[in-house]
Structure 1
Amino acid sequence: MCGIVAYLGNQEAYPLIIKGLKRLEYRGYDSTGVSVHQDGQLQIFKKVGKVAELENSLAGKSLKSTIGIGHTRWATHGEPNDINAHPHFSSSKQLSIIHNGIIENYNALKKELISKGYSFVSETDTEVLITFIEDIKTHNNLSLEAAVRQALFTIEGAYAIVIMDQDNPDQLIAARKGSPMVLGIGKEEYFVASDATPIIEYTDEVVYLNDEEIAVINRDGFKITSIENEELTPYIQKVELELDEIEKGGYEHFMLKEIFEQPNSIADSMRGRLDAKNSKITLGGIREYADALTEANRIIIIACGTSWHSGLVAEYLFEEFCRIPVEVEYASEFRYRNPVINKGDVVIAISQSGETADTLAAIELAKSRGAIILGVVNVVGSSISRASHEGAYLHTGPEIGVASTKAFTGQLSVLIMIILSVAVRKKTITDARLKELLTDLACIPDKIRKVLASNDKIEYIASLFKDARNFLYLGRGYNFPVALEGALKLKEISYIHAEGYPAAEMKHGPIALIDEEMPVVVIATRDSSYDKIVSNIQEVKARKGIVIAVVTEGDVLIPKMADYVIEVPKCDEALMPLVSVVPLQLLSYHIAIMRGCNVDQPRNLAKSVTVE
């Protein structure tokens, strides 16, 4: 959600920034812009739409400068248009700024500034912020750094900002709170970005800024201070990310690439952790708090969107194998009520990006109540990973497509390993059952490869339903969250209304929707609920519903009842969500493509939701 790229060095800034903004397009945005220092003045160029549209509008224009800032905006204050796009000037046009996040008290600040004679051209909180900084700088005769620091003491909300000063073409000032920011360190050059993807082509050395830290970057070096002006020693780390990991690799879309990467990404999530032959799981990331997790009176899982669905699967697994009560909470709701958190409670925070604003805020609330926080995230060095007491990375590689696919299965893989390791410590699982599960878990990548081999058949089924207006997804037990996830994928990328339900709940309301035009996707693999799901399919067919069934290979009963069948390999029902979700991902992908939708960047959505 929103993207930042800034540069100071010896290269031409504009082409580098444009390339970086294109690398950040996966985050979701509606307008874009750049600011450079040229001919002694700050210049701003911005446009609603994609980065390519801005680039085309500037074709042939000389933008020679070795310092610049760029931004992709996801609208919060003010509609998407050229005026509200970033960067923004201060009132005098002496300063320009890019900003991710939301300034919650901007309206009060704006009224105060208007009373002083300032006027505003945009509807954004960002223009208010840079004008506020300039007002402090001018009336108190302060340096820009001091003015930024003083302003940040006053504002309320979240921010990641980079500021340029017309009077100082050799300096960038960056700061963050609640919105991610990374500083890249090259050879006599520096980069600032929302994440490492625009940087890795130029350097693998980065500093992740923490909340309420300010970076002052000059051509001969940089310093990082706290908001209280305490100079800090930066922790420089290597980025373990290769350029080819964020390229499409021959696939038409990132989403398709990431669906097909799942055999390898799941294997990567288990590498060095799972030893199926010796029935052993090694999770170094939770070693220090393993006892606390094992002895927990209750586990609270907090997440949003797809991560919430993986948390629902984990709830079933924790209670089945560890006999620990689990609550799965939307992070956005958890933080705005007064949750009961007791001593000994463990909170597991799940997030692909590790930057989800609602989840971060929920973590801080839980920590303030004494909970132990374990993070399950994909992005190394992300805010949630740093805010957690311990945790486990997914190691599934960067996920560029906005609609999560391989991160979902990576989350499930890691959560399953955590759960089984707890079950072993609690002695709530037999050796035989453990070996059975771990052996099957090790085979999951091969089982998913078999599902992916059905891509052509799934594409054909998608062609029959690309014009449907509604879908219903049904599942039971471990596959109920998969039904929710399948429905979410379809609505996210194809814009078709879809709902997921526990299959038994169909007759408590949704059955009223079923007619000869209603496609019903049923996850009907062979498990302990099989006979019941067969009954649910019969209920749908009795009302002329169209059934698309995901079944276990070799099933002879459901194919006689369903209109269309997608087979998946036999798998332990506790692990089946890892397999049964894949055909639903492919079905959504193909329907969206046939409808002409942008599957990698669906409308109104952002990959990393860094505002509330």
Structure 2
Amino acid sequence: MCGIVGAVAQRNVTGILIEGLKRLEYRGYDSAGVALIEQNGDLAVRKAVGKVKAMTDKVDAAPVSGTTGIAHTRWATHGKPSELNAHPHTSTHIAVVHNGIIENHGALREALKSKGYAFVSETDTEVIAHQIEDLIKQGNNLKVATQKAVAMFEGAYAIAVIDTRRPNELAACRSGSPLVLGLGIEENFVASDQMALRQVTDRFVFLEEGDFVYLTLEGYSLFNEQGEPVERPVKQLTDEHVVADKGGYRHFMLKEIFEQPAVLSRTLQGRISKTRVMEQAFGADAEKIFDQVKGVQIVACGTSYHAGLVAKYWLESIAGLPCNVEVASEYRYRRVFVSKDTLFITISQSGETADTLAALREAKKSHYLASLVICNAPNSSLVRESDLVFMTQAGPEIGVASTKAFTTQLVALQLLTIALGRRHGLAEQTEADMVGSLASLPDQIETALGLDDTIKHVSEKFADKHHALFLGRGVEYPVAMEGALKLKEISYIHAESYPAGELKHGPLALVDANMPIVAVAPNNDLMEKLKSNLEEVQARGGKLFVFSDQADAFPSSEEVTVIDVQSVPDTIAPMVYTIPLQLLSYHVAIVKGTDVDQPRNLAKSVTVE
């Protein structure tokens, strides 16, 4: 999503800022801009809609230089893409760039207007610039004014500020949106991502939640949320930190499985506060559209389809909304009945999935309320053609079998469920509890990854198998479907999934000692039902592999292998239980000797029908 770069140096930083923006282009954006304090003390700003190149063309046409500056790539939330809405935003001597959402910007805007401040954009960010300028007029310096201003803001943000009256200084802070400090020799930098600054430094300080930093040529001062001076470790990065390699892992797929705590954290940053979901993260018109939603239609393919099936359980049980989920290749070729005020949702890792894109285009001919895409690829066709967009922060996914893209999609869909649920009786405390569980999710995923060695050992029991059956109940049934898909994709074992309650209606005929049965069994209100289903499997000689947080409920034996998963809240169980299934498919593929990252006959992005 949005990207920030800032610099204080003894040399012209225009090129550094622009190169930093180019390195952040993967995040997705619709406009770009730069502001520098020129040698004569003037504030020079260049902005453009579109790619960074459009902005650099303006810089080339009207050159600007300075030793202190900030730059930004914007993804529209408040206000459509335009030069007026593009960052940086200014107020007399102040220039600001901002990622995130200031939830109380409306009240602040009205208060500032009453003091005579004129607003030229539709953004929440312009409030920041005027508020800091107003506090400086009251006798505060840039550092104090910025600290006082951020104490007034509600929401999630990362901010960088410069002031022409203090030409070699820069203030920055983060709350719910990432920011990193880059250290040089008599020059210092800030950015949303360390990759933006790798051309100028390899030494970084990763700011923690609530941190405030004040940069000068000589160094920096760092303060925590309470305004107390703090120290954070300086980390020196090497080429091993470059995204596009395996980072010491045997395969990209394994690397991407283990990246999930980090990418889930990125996906949540700026989208939740301590107790609430910030629905503006879905787009500038999200609030207005969500107010009207009375039903949801989800269309996707493959792994993304399974994410949609999980969301169906959430949307109906938590948000109280009817939800249909359909495979895109089926949806596009049938006549569809559209209920009034239905939100049309597409889910895609690549944003170029041909059937899903065609389904969106067909949907636009129908009477849907609006379209929303959940996607990992900025500037893709689905992103460009949808009314609302939620960009997951999975980063490049090289392995053909999707892993981190799936769990980030689930997080996006749960955030959507909460946002829509507010309008249909979801209690504030329930939202706060769910948000708290989501905030803990990266740590819970890290714990689940600790099962790697156990699952590696279990995978050896699949060495001579040719078929497998995956079982789940309730919301864990789509998780079982995803587990079966992963196993067949990369190990070439035929695998299918069933709701456990359907065993008697056909699959039980397949059960024998040669077919492993994988069960997803968290301790929820369907646990006892599932146990009865699994006893039917045992009675017929089936070999059970049970993933459960209630290991004692399934006594281990030669016929039953229990993998003990930690206990987690029901709302995040689908994400947590996905992890051991991904690891199982990976290690079985290794045992089978298949090409893990590039399985036969499959492509990463299916751009043909």
- TM-score higher than 0.5: yes
Structure 1 match to 2:358: 361
**2 CA distance for matches of 1:345 and 1:279?**
24
Compute the displacement of 1:183 (Å): 12
Structure 1 match to 2:245: 247
Structure 1 match to 2:314: 317
Equivalent of 1:555, from 551, 556, 563?
A: 551
**1 CA distance for matches of 2:315 and 2:546?**
28
Q: 1:446 to 1:397 in 2, by over 3 A?
A: same
Structure 2 match to 1:506: 503
- AA aligned to 1:556 is D
Structure 2 match to 1:403: 401
Kept after mapping to 2: 8 A contact 1:286/1:391: yes
Kept after mapping to 2: 8 A contact 1:523/1:551: yes
**2 CA distance for matches of 1:433 and 1:300?**
24
**2 CA distance for matches of 1:385 and 1:306?**
18
Unaligned runs of 5+ in 1: 1-181, 189-203, 206-238
The answer to whether the aligner puts 1:447 opposite 2:449 as a matched pair is no
Structure 1 match to 2:469: 472
The answer to whether the aligner puts 1:462 opposite 2:459 as a matched pair is yes
Q: Provide, for residues 279-313 of structure 1, a one-character-per-residue CA deviation record: whole Å limited to 9, x for no partner.
A: 44344333413333343232100000000000000
Q: 1:184 to 1:583 in 2, by over 3 A?
A: farther
Count of matched residue pairs: 381
Structure 1 runs of 4+ aligned residues shifted over 3 Å read 182-185, 239-243, 278-283, 559-562
- AA aligned to 2:294 is N
The equivalences for 1:186-205 within 5 A come to none
- AA aligned to 2:506 is G
Structure 1 match to 2:567: 570
Kept after mapping to 2: 8 A contact 1:292/1:344: no
- AA aligned to 2:458 is I
Structure 1 match to 2:478: 481
**1 CA distance for matches of 2:521 and 2:282?**
36
Structure 2 match to 1:518: 515
Q: Provide, for residues 87-122 of structure 1, a one-character-per-residue CA deviation record: whole Å limited to 9, x for no partner.
A: xxxxxxxxxxxxxxxxxxxxxxxxxxxxxxxxxxxx
Compute the displacement of 1:184 (Å): 9.2
**2 CA distance for matches of 1:297 and 1:431?**
20
Q: 1:280 to 1:308 in 2, by over 3 A?
A: closer
Structure 1 match to 2:415: 417
- AA aligned to 1:339 is V
SS for the counterpart of 2:551 is coil
**2 CA distance for matches of 1:316 and 1:520?**
24
Structure 1 match to 2:582: 585
Kept after mapping to 2: 8 A contact 1:483/1:523: yes
- AA aligned to 2:252 is F
Kept after mapping to 1: 8 A contact 2:371/2:386: yes
SS for the counterpart of 1:274 is coil
Kept after mapping to 2: 8 A contact 1:478/1:574: no
Kept after mapping to 2: 8 A contact 1:283/1:418: no
- AA aligned to 2:482 is E
Compute the displacement of 1:332 (Å): 0.6
Structure 2 match to 1:607: 604
Equivalent of 1:370, from 356, 367, 391?
A: 367
Compute the displacement of 1:437 (Å): 1.6
Q: Provide, for residues 461-494 of structure 1, a one-character-per-residue CA deviation record: whole Å limited to 9, x for no partner.
A: 0011122010000000110000100000000001
Q: Provide, for residues 6-54 of structure 1, a one-character-per-residue CA deviation record: whole Å limited to 9, x for no partner.
A: xxxxxxxxxxxxxxxxxxxxxxxxxxxxxxxxxxxxxxxxxxxxxxxxx
**2 CA distance for matches of 1:411 and 1:304?**
13
Kept after mapping to 1: 8 A contact 2:279/2:287: no
Q: 1:281 to 1:570 in 2, by over 3 A?
A: farther
**2 CA distance for matches of 1:559 and 1:422?**
42
- AA aligned to 2:366 is R
The equivalences for 1:4-403 within 5 A come to 244-275=242-273, 277-371=274-368, 372-403=370-401
Root mean square deviation of aligned Cα: 2.5
Compute the displacement of 1:438 (Å): 1.5
Kept after mapping to 2: 8 A contact 1:471/1:520: yes
The answer to whether the aligner puts 1:532 opposite 2:529 as a matched pair is yes
Q: Provide, for residues 575-595 of structure 1, a one-character-per-residue CA deviation record: whole Å limited to 9, x for no partner.
A: 211000110100000111111
Structure 2 match to 1:546: 543
Kept after mapping to 1: 8 A contact 2:312/2:323: yes
* Identical counterparts, % of pairs: 44
Compute the displacement of 1:327 (Å): 0.4
Compute the displacement of 1:432 (Å): 2.5
- AA aligned to 2:449 is L
Q: 1:593 to 1:447 in 2, by over 3 A?
A: same
**2 CA distance for matches of 1:291 and 1:546?**
52
- Normalised by the length of structure 1, the TM-score is 0.59
Kept after mapping to 2: 8 A contact 1:335/1:362: yes
SS for the counterpart of 1:449 is helix
**1 CA distance for matches of 2:293 and 2:499?**
28
Q: Provide, for residues 553-586 of structure 1, a one-character-per-residue CA deviation record: whole Å limited to 9, x for no partner.
A: x531114476211122211222211000110100
SS for the counterpart of 1:346 is strand
Kept after mapping to 1: 8 A contact 2:556/2:562: no
**2 CA distance for matches of 1:278 and 1:591?**
40
- AA aligned to 1:578 is M
**2 CA distance for matches of 1:431 and 1:592?**
45
- AA aligned to 1:587 is L
Q: 1:603 to 1:436 in 2, by over 3 A?
A: same
**1 CA distance for matches of 2:542 and 2:280?**
46
**2 CA distance for matches of 1:603 and 1:522?**
27
Q: Provide, for residues 313-370 of structure 1, a one-character-per-residue CA deviation record: whole Å limited to 9, x for no partner.
A: 0000000111111000111111111111244221000000000000000000001113
**1 CA distance for matches of 2:278 and 2:517?**
38
Q: 1:417 to 1:510 in 2, by over 3 A?
A: same
- Normalised by the length of structure 2, the TM-score is 0.60
Q: 1:283 to 1:292 in 2, by over 3 A?
A: closer
**2 CA distance for matches of 1:297 and 1:429?**
15
Compute the displacement of 1:256 (Å): 0.2
Q: Provide, for residues 478-511 of structure 1, a one-character-per-residue CA deviation record: whole Å limited to 9, x for no partner.
A: 1000010000000000110000111101111000
